[in-house]
Amino acid sequence: MAQVTLNNVKKIYAGGVEAVKGVSFDIPDGGFCVLVGPSGCGKSTLLRMVAGLETISAGEVAIGSRVVNQVEPADRDIAMVFQNYALYPHMSVYDNMAYGLRNRGTPKDEIEKRVAEAARILAIEPFLQRRPRQLSGGQRQRVAMGRAIVRKPQVFLFDEPLSNLDAKLRVQMRVEIKKLQRALGVTAIYVTHDQVEAMTLSDKLVVMNGGQVEQIGVPAEVYRKPASRFVATFIGSPPMNLLPAKLDGHGIIALGDALLQARDLREDLATGTAVEVGLRPEDIEIASEGAVGSLPFDVEFIEELGATQLFHGQLAGKPFVMQAATGEVTAQPGRLWISVDPDKVHVFDAESGVRLGKV
């Protein structure tokens, strides 16, 4: 087990394309770090550089106290779980797990012990003699995990391991991965484009976009105080509503005709600055008509989610979504008056998209 340190890591491809533009962060020993972002944001490339499957164009990757830039993947003391599992199709489950150990010259009885233990933890003991083809997606996923566990590596690397599973299994495996990582105490780096996985799994969330880090933090903090417009819309489901607005004095935002209060804004902002206001669908409350700080919301249709309902409509001429517990609000189209706690009003610079809050 070890901490992982990335120092200004860059990936520049032969054509001059910069896939990763200088990323620095570190993951403490035993930490679970999730890299999240849309496809093409460089998160997989970054993971593959840690794994040693891509060369590092600039910067340093260290596992423990050892810089591993020039170290072969096999010697980095890592284990990786791939998106399509990458199990050897011609080998039995047992051989799939034992292969890496055999290549390292691990004694036979030790291999047997470790595979048996991993199989027990993952509940795949009945399948050890089967071929991967004869297993279901979830079982293959477990075998891929088993192959990582038997190695007893310093770092687990996960490259979108759940994206080939159906929704129900995904939730189940997500919980199991987290439990397993806790139990083994191995540092983990996990790449995903699914913000729910990112929020639930990580103790350290790294949001990436366009080859750069947008925000690093614990999930709750990233959710509560997104550092940019991008993070704000990417983390949270349904995504945050963004509305163009203007500053109208300190802490007051003019949104069309209505006024909205925001807290913790930077103090150097001039009145009239163009901003974007972000309101999470789940932070919206019902207000009485014409109350101070209330906004008119024209509901057009309602989506039923069971426990909650999504109200789609227009606010100040822009599409807007509100989430409310079922039965709390009369579910019919028409005008609603809503308000938002000033603590939960997010304000971003209209141009750069940077959060305009106190640091």
Q: Which stretch binds another protein (CB under 8 A): 33-41, 69-77, 161-169, 301-309?
A: 69-77
99 lines the binding site for another protein (CB under 8 A)? yes
83 lines the binding site for another protein (CB under 8 A)? yes
Residue for token pair 């998106």: 83
Question: Residues 12, 67, 71, 86: which binds another protein (CB under 8 A)?
Answer: 86
> Rounded to an integer, what distance in angstroms lies between the CA atom of residue 329 and that of residue 134?
50
Question: Residues 22, 31, 64, 100: which binds another protein (CB under 8 A)?
Answer: 100
Question: Residues 20, 51, 302, 336: which binds another protein (CB under 8 A)?
Answer: 51
Q: How far is the CB of 48 from another protein (least distance, A)?
A: 8
Whether residue 238 is preceded by a cis peptide bond, meaning omega within 30 degrees of 0, is yes
Q: Which is nearer to another protein, 55 or 330 (CB)?
A: 55
Counted residue by residue, the chain has a size of 359
220 lines the binding site for another protein (CB under 8 A)? no
- The backbone torsions φ and ψ at residue 217, rounded to the nearest 5 degrees and listed phi first, read 175, 180
135-194: contacts with another protein (CB under 8 A): 147
Question: Residues 84, 136, 271, 314: which binds another protein (CB under 8 A)?
Answer: 84
Burial of 246 (0-12, 13-18, 19+ CB in 10 A): middle
> Rounded to an integer, what distance in angstroms lies between the CA atom of residue 42 and that of residue 21?
9
**Which one-letter amino acid corresponds to residue 124?**
I
Q: Which stretch binds another protein (CB under 8 A): 11-19, 59-67, 84-92, 291-299?
A: 84-92
> Rounded to an integer, what distance in angstroms lies between the CA atom of residue 83 and that of residue 42?
16
**In terms of Cα–Cα distance, which of 299, 228, 287, 224 is closest to 259?**
287
- For the record, the structure tokens of 264 come out as 């913790």
Question: Residues 24, 66, 90, 328: which binds another protein (CB under 8 A)?
Answer: 90
Question: Residues 15, 89, 290, 306: which binds another protein (CB under 8 A)?
Answer: 89
**In terms of Cα–Cα distance, which of 308, 311, 283 is closest to 297?**
311
117-146: contacts with another protein (CB under 8 A): 131-133
Q: Which residues bind another protein (CB under 8 A)?
A: 51-53, 72-75, 78-80, 82-84, 86-90, 99-100, 103-104, 131-133, 147
